[in-house]
Amino acid sequence: MKYIIIGAVAGGASTAARLRRLDEKAEIVIFEKGEYISYANCGLPYYIGDVIKDRNALFVQTAAAFNRRFNIDVRTMTEVTAIDAEAKTITAFNHQTGKEYSENYDKLVLSPGAEPIRPPLPGITHEGIFTLRNVNDTDYIKSFVTQKKVKKAVIIGGGFIGLEMAENLHELGLDVSIIEMGNQILAPVDFPIAAIVQQHIRSKGVKLYLESAVTAFEKGDEGLKVIMKSGEHLDADVVIMSIGVRPDTRLAISAGLKLGDAKGIWVNEYLQTSNPDIYAVGDAIEFTNPITKQSMNTYLAGPANKQGRICANNVVLGNIQQYKGSINTAIVKVFDMTVATTGTASKHLEKAGIKHVVSTTTNGSHAGYYPGSKSMTIQIAFVPEDGRLLSAQIAGFDGVDKRIDILSSVIRNKSDIYELAEFEHAYAPPYSSAKDPINMAGFVAENIIQGRLSIFYWNELNKITSSDVLLDVRSKAEFDAGHIENAINIPVDDIRERMNELDKNKNIYIYCQAGLRGYLVQRILKQNDYQKVLNMSGGYQLWKACTNEAV
């Protein structure tokens, strides 16, 4: 049996290694058009920023080591240019020798990845404008930044890679600006979580230009000019284009393979393409989203590696294992903060017509009495009828990673907010609280479903009329330091003695700093015949972050 794999980074290398473990006698050939295989793509920005100082640490395997360990014929700098699916052959071009040749296969695996989007803007070919996708890109950027002694950087695109590059270039001492076409950074998360992170980015002196489109680049006397649609321009010594990627489907199209609605390579549940002898994995494929049931792509190393293992099992053993899709669990370090997401954001659930409720809670990363506890904001979305969890997003400092992994597992298992409320975690003061932030998110969601808590959101203040009451239940000192316009102040500890100041026939909209005190007041009022009472989800601090960032 002869297996050919096209692409030798995450998905392709994982497939090849698993194939060998399953079939010691097979002939396995892996083609990679670049110079390197199996490298840590996600670590590239940190090498540029000198966080990772040893370049060799980026390489999980070299071609020679991969060959020795797995007895796999690794052909780097060799690009597959065509596939003849009927004849079961590929055409390859060796960029080092200049020779073109053909190879036959019994089974073929495509892992061509994705290619960065580089729009044909005027001046985009000027020196100093880069995309970051592979090791060579990294070397070019690092060399340019070092040798040219650059001082100003412009990042175009506020996604994961763009933010990582912004942080790393800022750490090198550069003046950094980020231009984002959307109204927020980090498109996979909802606006409130993005707003919290944007506030943090601005606190570091990085400039954010939201809802701004780049129209051209010009060469100036002392560098580049980045021209925006507004007519404004930014000076830059280096520009990083990070506006996204698209599936590399050129070979699939030439082979007559089916593409899907998301413009990726269509695969079935066994990662098999429309040709039964050709499989595909990684950034180039699309599959059914487990939550929305719509076609989707994902550009994450974790799913690609897992797909490689499943694919190899099916290639060798005959379609024995189904790939269940990805819920896009992702995490990114943004200066001192960590942001993570899993499942389908509320804005995308709305587009898919999926009914849901959003709840936002803020708690400490560990016990407040133990030094170093920092705030962590968790937003979840769930089905109102049965509490099934659909998404979770976290913005915080410590412990974000372990919480998002828990939430991801709950979503993957199609479980609910009741599991969050009952989740049994390891507790000691340096690591958590007796009621973990995960539990707190579950408690609040449970109260919403059971009708004990009625909520409204930061962007619904326009629903409040002059005949309604906006009630701030924080302390007088907090109220005097800043409050929402037209609010009255009755601190939570005074509410029982002063509730007669409130009209039972009016709608009462409550807020506190994060939500807990507002909930307590709501419970008191409702049990004293005040029935039209709502509490702001996320509280004043979320409202302030969102209104400060609303474009």
Mean pLDDT score, 405-426: 97
* Measured distance CA(526)–CA(461) in Å, rounded: 21
Tokens 């098999």 — which residue?
Answer: 272
Name residue 102's beta-bridge partners: 91
At residue 506, what is the residue type?
Answer: K
Round to whole Å and give the CA distance between 472 and 86.
Answer: 71
Residue found by looking up tokens 């005027």 in the block: 122
The token duo for 514 is 């994060």
Is 42 annotated in the active site? yes
Mean pLDDT of 429-447: 97
DSSP three-state, residue 52: coil
3-state secondary structure of 302: helix
Q: Distance of alpha carbon 66 from its chain centroid, rounded? A: 31
Residue 264 has φ and ψ, to the nearest 5°, of -100, 175
Identity (one letter) of the amino acid at 446?
A: E
Please give the Cα distance from 468 to 25 (Å, whole number). Answer: 77
Task: Tell me the pLDDT band of 133, cut-offs 50, 70 and 90.
Answer: confident
Whether 171 contacts 204, CB under 8 Å: no
**Per-residue pLDDT averaged across 255-271, rounded?**
96
Residue type present at position 23: D
pLDDT band at 144 (very low <50, low <70, confident <90, very high): very high
Q: What is the mean pLDDT of residues 528-543?
A: 96
Mean pLDDT of the chain: 95
268 burial level (CB within 10 Å; 0-12, 13-18, 19+)? middle
Q: pLDDT of 295-315, one tens digit each?
A: 999 999 899 999 999 999 999
CA angle 512, 518, 520 (to 5 degrees): 140
What is the average pLDDT across 23-48?
90
Average of per-residue pLDDT across 342-361? 97
Asked if pLDDT for residue 207 goes beyond 90, the answer is yes
Question: What is the side-by-side strand order in the sheet with 2-6?
Answer: 73-76, 27-32, 2-6, 107-110, 278-280
Res. 220 pLDDT band, cuts 50 70 90: confident
Cβ-count burial of 343 within 10 angstroms (0-12 exposed, 13-18 middle, 19+ buried)? buried
Look-up of token digits 């695969």:
267
Radius of gyration of the chain measured on its C-alpha atoms: 27
Tell me, what amino acid is at 217?
Answer: F
Catalytic residue among 42, 311, 512, 546: 42
Whether pLDDT at 551 is above 70: no
Residue-level pLDDT at 42: 85
- Percent helix, strand, coil in the chain (nearest 5)? 30, 25, 40
- Residue 511: what pLDDT? 98
pLDDT value, residue 450: 95
pLDDT digits (tens, 9 = 90+) for 447-500: 999 999 999 999 999 999 999 999 999 999 999 999 999 999 999 999 999 999
- Residue 249 scores a pLDDT above 70: yes
274 vs 83: CA distance, rounded Å: 14
Average pLDDT over residues 116-133: 93
Report the range of poorest mean pLDDT among 55-69, 72-86, 397-411: 55-69
pLDDT tier for residue 39 given thresholds of 50, 70 and 90: confident
By the 8 A CB rule, do 237 and 153 touch?
yes
- What residues pair up with 246 in beta bridges, in sequence order? 115
Would you call 364 helix, strand, or coil by DSSP? Answer: strand
- % of the chain residues with pLDDT over 70: 100
Specify whether the CB–CB gap between 133 and 299 falls below 8 A. no
Residue 515 · residue 362 · CB < 8 Å: yes
State residue 289's pLDDT score.
Answer: 95
**Six token digits for residue 497:** 């003695």
Q: How many CB atoms lie within 10 A of CB 350?
A: 13
Mean pLDDT of all residues in 44-63: 87
Indicate if the pLDDT at residue 256 is higher than 80: yes
Per-residue pLDDT of 80-98, as tens digits, reads: 999 999 999 999 999 999 9
Does position 60 have pLDDT exceeding 80, yes or no? no
pLDDT number for residue 327? 96
Mean pLDDT, range 345-362, rounded to an integer: 97
Predicted pLDDT at 65: 86
Four-residue CA torsion sign, 104, 108, 113, 118: positive
Whether residue 40 has pLDDT greater than 80: no
Q: What pLDDT score does 134 carry?
A: 86
H-type helices in 413-515, by residue range? 417-422, 437-449, 476-481, 495-498
Least confident of 40-49, 243-252, 360-369: 40-49
Closest Cα partner for 208 from 131, 154, 172? 154
Quickly count: other Cβ atoms within 10 Å of residue 261's Cβ: 10
Amino acid at 434: A
